[in-house]
Amino acid sequence: MDIKKVLVADAVDAACVELLEKHSIQVDCKYKLPVDQLIAEIKNYDGLIVRSDTKVTADVIAAGKNLKVIGRAGAGVDNIDIKAATANNIIVLNTPGGNAISACELTCSLITNLARNVTPAAASLKAGRWDRKLYAGHELNGKVLAILGLGRIGREVAVRMQAWGMKTIGYDPIVSAEESKKFNVDSLSLEEIWPLADYITVHTPLIPETRNLICENVFKSCKKGVRIVNVARGGIINEADLLQALRDGECGGAALDVFEQEPPTNPVTLELIQHPKVVATPHLGASTAEAQVRVAVEVSEQIIALTGKSKEFTTTPGIVNHSVLKN
C-alpha cells in the first residue's frame, strides 16, 4: 500500500511522528481542525491518525479521495464511520492493546474507591469534617465482580481483583466458557449475572448491541445496592436510568470515567456527576504516560506495516474492517 503522507488530527505522543518519518512517511500535525477545514485538508493525505476528539464522519471520508487508512491511537473507534470507510475501501485500525493496562488499573482503582468511599471521605476531611461513621465502607473480599467484556482489559481486571479475593463472573459472546476459565472467570449469560453481581464493570465497545446495556430493567434484576463501573464508553449505561437507580437505592454507587456526551452539558449527566454516590473522572482511562507512548507507537507501526516496506513491522492486529483487504 502506497502511504506517503499522513495527517495527525489529534495530539499523540511524538513517538508516532518520529517513527513514521523514520520510515519516509511525511507527517503533518494539525490538531482540532474544524470539520470544514478537515474536509478541505483530507484530500491531500493517504492516512489519517486520530484519537477521540476528531469525528471522522462520512463527509470527511468522502472528501478523502486519496485516503487509504484511518488509524485510531486508542481502542474505541465509535468516532469513525466504519461503514463509510469500508464502502470507500479505506482501512480502519486501532491499537487495542496499547491502553489495556492503564484502563484496567483505573477500573480497579475505582472499584476500591467505591468500596471504601475514598473520594467523598477525602472531600469531607478537606472541608474540615471528621465523618468516620458516615463513610464506613465494606470489604471486597468475597464479593462478586461481574465483568462484561472479556477482552484484554476485562481479563486484566479479573486477575487483579481476584487478588483482592473477589469472585469473578463474566459475559462475552465471543469468548468461550473454556477460555474464560483460564483466567478464573465463570462465563454466564447476562440474565444469570444480574442477580449475582455485587459490582458490575463494563469493557465492551459502544455498538448498537451494547448501547443502554445497563438500564432500568437491569437494575430491577440486580441485587439492591449493586455498584457500577464504566471506563469503556459513554452510552453503554443509560445515564437517566442510572440516576434514578441511585435515587431509589437500587444502585449503591457508580464510578464513571466516560459519558454519553464529552465534555458533558446534558442536565441529567451533570446531575449524575454531582450525585454523592458517584465518583466521576474526565475520561482518564488511557491518560498515562506509558499508554500514550504505546498507542502512538502501535498505530504508526501498523501504518508502516501496510506499506510492505518494513521487515521489522509486518503485522496489523488492529484492523477492524478486514473486508477491505479482500478488495
Note whether 173 and 263 are same-domain residues.
Answer: yes
Q: In the listed set 258, 280, 302, which residue is the last one of a domain according to the structure? A: 280
Note whether 199 and 300 are same-domain residues.
Answer: no
For 87, the domain range is 5-98+289-326
Q: Model confidence over 28-76: pLDDT tens digits?
A: 999 989 999 999 999 999 999 999 889 999 999 999 999 999 999 988 8
Print the SS3 string covering 1-60. CCCCEEEECCCCCHHHHHHHHHCCCEEEECCCCCHHHHHHHHHHCCEEEECCCCCECHHH
Short-list 195, 190, 188, 201, CA closest to 160: 201
| Residue ranges of the chain whose pLDDT lies below 70 | 327
* Active-site residue identified among 18, 21, 262, 290: 262
283 is annotated as an active-site residue: yes
For the chain, the domain total comes to: 2
Note whether 61 and 73 are same-domain residues.
Answer: yes
- Please report the beta strands in the chain, taking only residues with DSSP state E, as ranges in sequence order: 5-8, 26-29, 47-50, 69-72, 91-93, 144-148, 167-171, 186-187, 199-202, 226-230, 251-256, 278-280
23 is annotated as an active-site residue: no
pLDDT at 75: 83
Note whether 20 and 122 are same-domain residues.
Answer: no
233 is annotated as an active-site residue: yes
* Active-site residue identified among 51, 233, 298, 301: 233
Note whether 272 and 312 are same-domain residues.
Answer: no
Note whether 141 and 208 are same-domain residues.
Answer: yes
pLDDT at 57: 96
pLDDT at 96: 80
* Active-site residue identified among 116, 138, 275, 283: 283
Q: Which residue do the cell numbers 517513527 mark?
A: 19
Q: Model confidence over 260-279: pLDDT tens digits?
A: 999 999 999 999 999 999 99
pLDDT at 327: 65
Answer whether the bond into residue 263 is a cis peptide, omega within 30°.
Answer: yes
φ, ψ dihedrals at 103, nearest 5°: -65, -35
pLDDT at 25: 96
